[in-house]
Structure 1
Amino acid sequence: MRFDHDTLPQRVRFASGAAAENLAAEISTLGASRVMVIAGEAERELARTIAGNLPVAHWHHEVAMHVPVAVAERARTEAATHGIDALVSVGGGSTTGLAKAVALTTGLPIVAVPTTYAGSEATNVWGLTADGRKTTGTDDRVLPRAIVYDAALTLSLPPALSVASGLNALAHCVDSMWAPRTDPIDRAVAGEGIRALRIGLPLVADDPTGLEGREHALYGAYLSAVAFASAGSGLHHKICHVLGGMFDLPHAQTHAVVLPHVLAFNAPAAPEAERRIAAAFDAPTAVEGLNRLRERLDAPTALRTYGMPGDGIAAATEAVLAAVPANNPRTVTPDDIAGLLRAAWEGADPR
């Protein structure tokens, strides 16, 4: 066994019902006195509830999917105008992503308070969108100094969105099994993430107000992001970044739809990864395990449902081919990608 593995420096505070207390402790540790709280309109009141006792110099509520460059520039201007010395993000991946965009150019520290299972809070990956193209990169400046996890904050997330967000986390795990920098530690963490999500998501679907399922899902989402941050973006994420930027598709649902098709494509060429995924699902095969879970959750199935035009497949195929990782376990051809995208667009059974 021979590999190099980097573990990102970050504190995690995980406790249901303790978001305000733990957030205050992190801001105190930073010694911040002029905080900018970033939260979308849907999280406006929640943000004030958990951050109301902080030294907030500015509340910022303009948040958009895929972090458009113009939105990021306005947030950066507000941070400079108000003399901000720390950022707090309260929300899902788009909110965390906007905080990262500000940190990318300012170096300001972030404390992330997730309300979904997006996982962005545990990575040093940033993304910005302009002119229908999403650009991503890695930079340690965007890694939140700390994460405040509170499963109670996810209770208001509707069951359907909880499922899509959880499957997005699951995609981080699956992609980490064969991503460009993957190693045995990444695969072990990803396997535990799959197991936790396999247990937690059905509990959330059955009882959206229960904390047990929410805690399992949040724990699994964190592990998925840790594995992904180390392993890098595999074929699945390259496809979804292209689709999200090109067609402004909802992030979580896009990942939920595309994942089974990428797994069915890559699994036969990656037997060790396939066995690990199958074991985490407690299923005879990886594909069967994922599809059992998706059927149990009534998961999203077709990209056309979320606004992707059928005549966009050709352009998306070309863009995906330019981004395919060199070490993908299976050789990728234009026909492969076009067929995969067509099946995901139609909602065909990946088996």
Structure 2
Amino acid sequence: MQPFEYTANPGRVVFGSGSIKKLPDEIKRLNKSKPLLLSTPQQEEQVRALEPILKDASITPAGLFSEATMHTPTHITDKALAYTKECGADCVVSFGGGSTIGLGKAISIQTGLEHVCIPTTYAGSEMTPILGETAEGKKTTRSDPKILPGTVIYDVDFTMTLPEALSATSGVNAIAHAVEALYARANNPIMTLFALEGTKALAEALPIIVNHPHDTDARSKAQYGAWLCAMCLGSVGMALHHKLCHTLGGSFNLPHAETHTIVLPHAIAYNAPKIPEVMKQLAGLLPGSDGDAIKGLNVLLAKLKVKRGLQEFGMKEEDVDKAAEIAVSNPYWNPREIEKGPLRETIRRCWAGEDAKADL
């Protein structure tokens, strides 16, 4: 066995249907009493449902900030920070997906406030010490153990109304975390176990959810898988897939989960020649792969009925060259050397919505 290093990220997880009722106990466990509630505009009504749960336990929210948006733009964070100070909050409760949790992280790292997450998607940001922020059209990321939320409440009840399309893309986003962990430079046997189990759970659950969105068992399995996949993202470095998604999302304002969904099979195809063992492991987890992981990913995305082309989300063909330039301008580790020609063709295929092929 190869030598490795493993650092367990601290964090408390409360998992199960109805676990939202434990939110007051978790806030009291932190010796806090004035939480700031965070959400996107679309989830403001849902997050307000937390107020009576808190008030029944003699906890009055300091306020509600419902302007979280994708890619965590710094001007929104600045506005939220001013509101946090104004209302006198002593902790932050983020309710939603990656956009809201990202805002919670930004507030927490800048103020030192405790951060409790209630994820309603499968994106996984709640399990990572990573913060991605956008300023002037450019997205940058940083990692710091202090960014990691202290407590996460996984209540499947809040995922039951997640639209089928968003369930699919959010779940594939989670799979992307696990797949890249399998060949990450800092991989270790523990992360491999998490990655394989998480990918398997999601690959089984997501097709059921798309066709039977109120299947509680499938929803619970997907949330479990997303948690494990997110643990991978928070513990080992990522490579081409995530770097490319950050470039595309931050530079062209493309939706986060949908971009990850489109890019994943193409990024794996690009790296395939250098990760044969990972390709075997992945193929074994994907129904319909016939021993070919790339085929398995293409089959999975077809089952999930997701959009396959970045052009469907507003990216223009002339943006392909710009994206390639940005992606190669900031060198980073990847199992296969980043070559501009093949990378440009990879991005073009993502733009066009073609099936992935390992022929570059």
Which bin holds the TM-score, normalised by the shorter protein?
over 0.9
- CA offset digits 1:231-261 (Å, max 9, x no partner): 1221100000011110110000000000010
Q: 1:91-138 CA distances to partner (integer Å, 9 max, x unpaired)?
A: 110000000110121111110000111100011100110111001011
Alignment of 1:318-333 (within 5 A): 318-326=325-333, 328-333=334-339
Matched, 1:317 2:324: yes
Distance 1:297 1:242 in 2: 25
Q: Please, which runs of 5 or more residues in structure 1 have no aligned partner? A: none
Quote how far apart the aligned CAs of 1:302 are.
Answer: 0.1
Report the residue type matching 2:341 in the other structure: D
Question: Is structure 2 residue 231 aligned with structure 1 residue 226?
Answer: yes
Segments of structure 2 that go 5 or more residues without pairing to the other structure are none
What pairs up with 1:56-135 in 2 under 5 angstroms? Answer: 56-135=61-140
What RMSD, in angstroms, separates the aligned Cα atoms of the two structures?
Answer: 1.3
Runs of 4+ in 1 over 6 A off after TM superposition: none
The alpha carbon displacement at 1:300 in A equals: 2.0
**274-283 or 194-203, which deviates more:** 274-283
Question: Partner of 2:31 in structure 1?
Answer: 31
| Correspondence for 1:302 | 309
Letter in 2 for 1:347: G
Instruction: Look up the SS of the partner of 2:104 in the other structure.
Output: helix
* CA distance in structure 2 between the aligned counterparts of 1:26 and 1:198, rounded to whole angstroms: 32
1:1-351 matches, cutoff 5 A: 1=1, 2-19=3-20, 21-52=21-52, 53=54, 54-282=59-287, 283=289, 284-326=291-333, 328-351=334-357
User: Distance in 2 between the 1:347 and 1:239 partners?
Assistant: 16
Q: CA deviation at 1:324?
A: 4.6
| Equivalent pair of 1:118/1:252 in contact (CA under 8 Å) | yes
For the residue of structure 1 that corresponds to 2:10, the secondary structure is coil
Tell whether the 8 Å contact from 2:38 to 2:104 is kept in structure 1 after alignment. Answer: yes
Residue type at the aligned position of 2:213: P
For residues 208 and 50 of structure 1, what CA distance do their matches in structure 2 show?
Answer: 24
Aligned length: 349
Preserved contact between residue 166 and residue 221 of structure 1 (Cα < 8 Å): yes
Q: Distance in 2 between matches of 1:135 and 1:15?
A: 34
The 3-state SS of whatever aligns with 1:230 is: coil
Matched position secondary structure for 2:262: helix
Any conservation in 2 of the 1:178–1:273 contact (CA below 8 Å)?
yes
Within 2, Cα distance between the matches of 1:197 and 1:173?
11
8 Å Cα contact 1:34/1:56 also seen in 2: yes
Amino acid at match of 1:149: Y
User: Is residue 267–residue 286 contact of structure 1 (8 Å, CA) maintained in 2?
Assistant: no
Letter in 2 for 1:41: P
Distance 2:262 2:193 in 1: 25
Distance 1:79 1:101, change over 3 A: same
Any conservation in 1 of the 2:168–2:210 contact (CA below 8 Å)? yes
TM-score, structure 1 normalization: 0.96
Q: Assess, with a 3 A threshold, how the Cα gap between structure 1 residues 268 and 65 changes in structure 2: closer, same or farther.
A: same
Counterpart Cα distance in 1 of 2:329 and 2:192? 26
Give the TM-score taking structure 2 as reference length: 0.94
SS in 2 for 1:168: helix
